[in-house]
């Protein structure tokens, strides 16, 4: 079993292992400065900020270009190295059990908070006065997101299209099959596995190169967001946005914090360890922008490659805590704002539908809004047109959704590794304390 350790800006840039490096050379500092600059440009020169959209979109495309190969190589080499296929099934079962429990808990938390705080109460908005055309495109996409279509969508048209099509679940599906195939042919597959591990080294070095552009991408994305939507739009729906951010923060600190404590690590140290990636997610409003970095950092923190490769990509579609909190909270906000009183039975129906529809949402910008549309289209009590109320601030809530989803998947990776008894506690403690050994570029260490 081999764990790749790359000396990259993402992997080691925010570690105190290099005391002579000035603060402005750290990736997290550069991204933070870029975010602040983007906010200023978007606020004081909104037209210029809107024109920055191609910069942010271009960076996200660069990262998405590398996601499928990274996932494929990580999973294939991880499974082939395990050889014990029962262990693969056991890891998958534990991961899905974790995902189901905490994603459902997130939906319940959102529902409870919406009933206690009632952020939409008193708005008294007539649904007939809302412009349904503003959300027509989202509703159309939602109708296409049926459970059957989602399941069939996991199967790629061809083997190669799973890597070139940009669908994480298709990549995951093909990688698992190929990894199992390599494991089944035994020693004859070692040469292929070794070659793929060498390719992985080069691929993670490409990730390190792309991450040098992270501050530029974060600047462009943030300038566009503030320039197009304006910080002033937050004032109109401050109660909803504030409630969502506070609820998500409490979920991370209290719920995920308790899970982390039971697993033997601090949620605050984990957040500090991932600060560069979290700032990148904040700047781009997309957790996909930091997916390759999360895979690499979880391996450095003592999680086996085989478990990281299964849990992280799968979690990006099935472990979306932030999206789930948003769905029930936003749905009940719309109901309250339009004067629709839902009974407890109707709310649990809404929760059940959201539980199913949320499983297909990928960790990309706008997916939560589309999934909300899919949920409301099945629950006729709440008008889908009411989504026009939150369209203006959805981009700002997307950032919080992505951050919560990202942290949730990092915690899940450590917890599942611990459940399997394969977590390197010393490596985890060293990484979270900023004391992880800095290895030469392109080297590997036995796990």
Question: Which domain CATH number covers 50?
Answer: 1.10.3860.10
Q: At what angle do helices 291-300 and 275-284 cross, to 10 degrees?
A: 170
Is 249 a residue whose pLDDT tops 90? yes
Mean pLDDT, all residues of the chain: 79
Closest C-alpha among 7, 24, 23, 42 to residue 285: 42
**Where residue 198 falls among pLDDT bands split at 50, 70, 90?**
confident
> By mean pLDDT, which of 229-243, 314-328, 357-371 is the weakest?
357-371
Specify the pLDDT at position 190: 80
Specify the pLDDT at position 434: 80
Question: pLDDT of 120-167, one tens digit each?
Answer: 777 767 666 655 555 555 555 555 555 566 677 778 888 888 888 777
Is 269 a residue whose pLDDT tops 90? yes
Is 229 a residue whose pLDDT tops 90? no
Highest mean pLDDT among 99-108, 193-202, 233-242: 99-108
Instruction: Provide the domain count of the chain.
Output: 1
The residue length of the chain stands at: 447
Percent of the chain with pLDDT over 90: 19
Specify the pLDDT at position 141: 52
Q: Is the dihedral of CA 28, 217, 197, 74 positive or negative?
A: positive
Specify the pLDDT at position 428: 92
Is 441 a residue whose pLDDT tops 50? no
- Which residue range(s) make up the domain with 347? 2-446
**Where residue 13 falls among pLDDT bands split at 50, 70, 90?**
very low
Is 95 a residue whose pLDDT tops 60? yes
Beta strands 2-4 and 444-446 are antiparallel
Is 70 a residue whose pLDDT tops 90? no
Specify the pLDDT at position 68: 84
Higher per-residue pLDDT: 167 or 53: 53
Higher per-residue pLDDT: 215 or 186: 215
- Mean pLDDT score, 267-277: 93
How many alpha carbons fall within 13 Å on the CB side of residue 203? 22
Percent of the chain with pLDDT over 70: 79
- The residue with tokens 């105190």 is 16
Question: pLDDT of 425-434, one tens digit each?
Answer: 999 999 998 8
Is 77 a residue whose pLDDT tops 70? yes
Specify the pLDDT at position 366: 53
Specify the pLDDT at position 208: 82
Specify the pLDDT at position 399: 84
- Mean pLDDT score, 367-383: 71
Dihedral angle computed from the Cα positions of residues 358, 332, 399 and 290, in that order, rounded to the nearest 10 degrees = -20
> By mean pLDDT, which of 1-10, 68-77, 111-120, 346-355 is the weakest?
1-10
Closest C-alpha among 290, 360, 312, 370 to residue 64: 290
Dihedral angle computed from the Cα positions of residues 367, 373, 375 and 379, in that order, rounded to the nearest 10 degrees = 180
Specify the pLDDT at position 386: 75
Dihedral angle computed from the Cα positions of residues 143, 172, 362 and 199, in that order, rounded to the nearest 10 degrees = -140
- The residue with tokens 């940009």 is 166
Specify the pLDDT at position 35: 85
Alpha helices in 45-84 (DSSP H): 46-51, 53-82
């Amino acid at each position: 079993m081999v764990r790749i350790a790359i000396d990259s800006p993402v992997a080691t840039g925010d570690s105190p292992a290099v005391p002579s490096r000035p603060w402005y050379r750290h990736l997290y500092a550069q991204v933070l400065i870029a975010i602040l600059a983007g906010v200023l440009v978007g606020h004081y020169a909104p037209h210029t900020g809107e024109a920055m959209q191609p910069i942010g979109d271009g960076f996200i495309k660069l990262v998405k270009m590398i996601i499928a190969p990274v996932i494929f190589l990580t999973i294939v080499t991880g499974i082939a190295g395990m050889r014990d296929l029962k262990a693969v099934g056991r890891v998958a079962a534990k991961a899905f059990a974790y995902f189901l429990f905490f994603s459902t808990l997130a939906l319940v938390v959102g529902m409870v908070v919406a009933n206690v705080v009632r952020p939409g109460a008193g708005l008294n908005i007539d649904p007939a006065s809302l412009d349904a055309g503003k959300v027509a495109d989202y509703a159309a996409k939602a109708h296409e997101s049926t459970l059957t279509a989602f399941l069939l969508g996991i199967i790629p048209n061809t083997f190669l299209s799973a890597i070139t099509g940009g669908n994480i679940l298709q990549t995951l599906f093909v990688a698992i099959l190929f990894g199992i195939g390599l494991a089944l042919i035994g020693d004859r597959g070692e040469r292929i596995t070794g070659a793929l591990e060498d390719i992985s080294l080069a691929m993670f070095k490409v990730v390190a190169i792309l991450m040098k552009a992270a501050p530029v991408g974060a600047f462009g994305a943030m300038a566009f967001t503030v320039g197009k939507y304006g910080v002033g739009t937050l004032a109109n729906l401050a109660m909803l946005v504030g409630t969502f951010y506070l609820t998500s923060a409490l979920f991370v600190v209290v719920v995920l914090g308790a899970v982390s404590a039971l697993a033997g690590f601090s949620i605050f140290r984990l957040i500090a360890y991932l600060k560069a990636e979290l700032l990148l997610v904040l700047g781009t409003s997309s957790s996909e922008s930091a997916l390759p970095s999360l895979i690499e950092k979880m391996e450095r923190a003592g999680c086996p490659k085989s478990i990281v490769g299964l849990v992280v990509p799968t979690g990006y579609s099935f472990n979306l805590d932030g999206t789930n909190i948003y769905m029930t909270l936003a749905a009940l906000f719309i109901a309250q704002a339009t004067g629709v009183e839902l009974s407890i039975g109707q709310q649990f129906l809404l929760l059940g539908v959201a539980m199913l529809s949320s499983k297909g949402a990928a960790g990309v910008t706008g997916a939560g809004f589309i999934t909300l549309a899919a949920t409301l289209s099945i629950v006729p009590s709440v008008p889908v047109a009411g989504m026009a109320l939150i369209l203006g601030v959805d981009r700002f809530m997307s950032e919080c959704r992505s951050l919560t989803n990202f942290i949730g998947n990092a915690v899940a990776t450590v917890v599942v590794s611990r459940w399997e008894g394969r977590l390197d506690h010393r490596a985890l403690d060293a990484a979270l304390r900023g004391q992880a050994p800095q290895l030469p570029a392109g080297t590997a260490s036995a796990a």
